[in-house]
Amino acid sequence: MSGHQCTENPPKLDPNSGSGHVEKLGGLDSYVSGSTHSKLAVVLVSHVFGYETPQLRKLADKVAEAGFYAVVPDFFHGDPYNPANEDRPLPIWIKDHPQDKAFEDSKPVVDALKNKGITTVGAAGFCWGAKVAVELAKQELVKAVVLLHPSRVTVDDIKGVKVPISVLGAEYDQVTPPKLVQQFQNVLATKPEVKSFVKIFPRVKHGWTVRYDPNDPSEVEAAKEAHKDMLVWLINHVK
């Protein structure tokens, strides 16, 4: 995650964004959207800018409209990465927010969902959050995952995945370049028991699904296509 692409085009955070609300779930403040009567849930694990990212919450609302109970936990405990803080650049900030700790924090969230009557949980991880999602997939704590412009996900991670997985990468991704995504695909091709879908989106950069320019029609269209692919995967495998 050393690449500048993880932090460029930072979103303007808005704690009031989205049509859902914030509540405690598994000990974490979490943005939740959708019917509490749904038996299916999706945990969306954010990029370094956190759960108040408006485009991420908008996507969670879209997931909820598809029939899921959508949850975006605050794995940063009120301390998302702030590019304006020059005293705390990303390499320093990330030491306080290791992905392995977030994975441990995600377990009570999944348990809390099941205590609500949820029977099946899926996960989608964005950049930093993709590493958390892939760990959930390796431990079979969820039924299916989608990794969107992942960061710090390795070939060994993919080898350990035990549930249906979709990987959505970008042509101009310097963090997880197409060559690495192709390696993921090659590994998954040797695991026919694990359903998989891998796609590299042309003419887009790392972070395009939740940090797109709403005034650029091509960026909006590419994000919408990725959102659709994500939803199709979740609908087909989280049931």
pLDDT in tens, 66-124: 999 999 999 999 999 999 999 999 999 999 999 999 999 999 999 999 999 999 999 99
Alpha-carbon separation of residue 32 from 8, 41, 69, 169, 186 (angstroms): 27, 10, 7, 26, 36
Average pLDDT over the chain reads 96
Alpha helices in the chain (DSSP H): 54-65, 90-93, 99-115, 128-138, 155-159, 178-189, 217-237
Distance linking the first and last C-alpha atoms of the chain:
33
Q: Given pLDDT bands bounded at 50, 70 and 90, which one contains residue 4?
A: confident
Query: What is the spatial distance between Cα 99 and Cα 154, in angstroms, rounded to a whole number?
Result: 13
Domain spanning 4-238: CATH 3.40.50.1820: yes
Query: What is the spatial distance between Cα 96 and Cα 45, in angstroms, rounded to a whole number?
Result: 17
Each residue's pLDDT tens digit, 14-41: 999 999 999 999 999 999 999 989 999 9
Both structure tokens of 87: 């005293």
- Long-range CB contacts (within 8 A, 24+) of 80-85: 80/13, 80/46, 80/48, 80/49, 80/50, 80/51, 80/52, 81/7, 81/48, 81/49, 81/50, 83/7, 83/10
Q: Given pLDDT bands bounded at 50, 70 and 90, which one contains residue 6?
A: confident
Helices and strands (H, E) in the chain, number of each type: 7, 8
Query: What is the spatial distance between Cα 56 and Cα 185, in angstroms, rounded to a whole number?
Result: 26
For residue 29, give the DSSP letter: E
So where are the chain's domains? 4-238
